Amino acid sequence: MTTVERIKASARESIRVKERFFEAHAEDVARAAELMIAALRAGHKILFFGNGGSAADAQHLAAELVNRYRRERPALAALALVTDTSVLTSIANDASFEEVFSRQIEALGEPGDVAVAISTSGRSPNVVRAVETARRLGLRTIGLLGRDGGLLGPLVDVPLIVPSEETARIQETHITLGHILCELIESAFSDPSVGTPPW
């Protein structure tokens, strides 16, 4: 396979994974957006977290909400729990790495907030622990996941599971999904009739 053929094959594979995901889970994506919109309208916040590339996605999506995605609108309350090195390292050093997100949720999370767990495997112990803590404290939970959803699939309120075993393809779909969620949220705050949840 030539370099050009490899490029085209990778692009086609990425497109196929995205198409399979959105064909199967468009309604779930809408539910996730409605959950986030309802929380923000009620004065609550969105907490994003994950490891490695998923940590980068957490920062990216929080930034889109706090600042803007496509249009000017009020700033929205979103935090990435992956950015404060002093907090992360003190928890990892004094307690354990498994608690780096759950401890922050104990400190910052409130009933009605939404915790967005990002994990390609759905099995990262620190992400699982954070979701367990979020549920115990009354937060709603969304999972951007992959493979079979892992331990997080049955644990979160809205599991968004990308049908792939390939980490790169899962991550590519996660950021596309994240951008769509940001677009839906931003539209709701520009047009109140968009994204109003049924409950």
What pLDDT does residue 125 have?
A: 98
Average pLDDT, the chain: 96
Secondary structure of residue 116 in the 3-state scheme: strand
- φ/ψ of 11, rounded to 5, equals -65, -45
What's this model's pTM, rounded to 2 decimal places? 0.94
Annotate 120-138 with b (16+ C-beta within 10 A) or e (fewer): bbbbbebbbbbbbbbeeee
Go through the domains of the chain in sequence order and give each one's CATH number. Answer: 3-190 (3.40.50.10490)
> What's the rounded Cα separation, in Å, for the pair 139 and 13?
35
> What's the rounded Cα separation, in Å, for the pair 154 and 19?
23
- pLDDT value at 180 more than 80: yes
Please, which pLDDT band fits residue 190 given cuts at 50, 70 and 90? Answer: confident
Residue 4, token pair as written in the block? 């050009």
**pLDDT, tens only, 74-101:** 999 999 999 999 999 999 999 999 999 9
Amino acid of residue 151: L
- pLDDT value at 183 more than 70: yes
Please, which pLDDT band fits residue 191 given cuts at 50, 70 and 90? Answer: low
Q: What is the DSSP string of 64-88?
A: HHHS-SSS------EEETT--HHHH
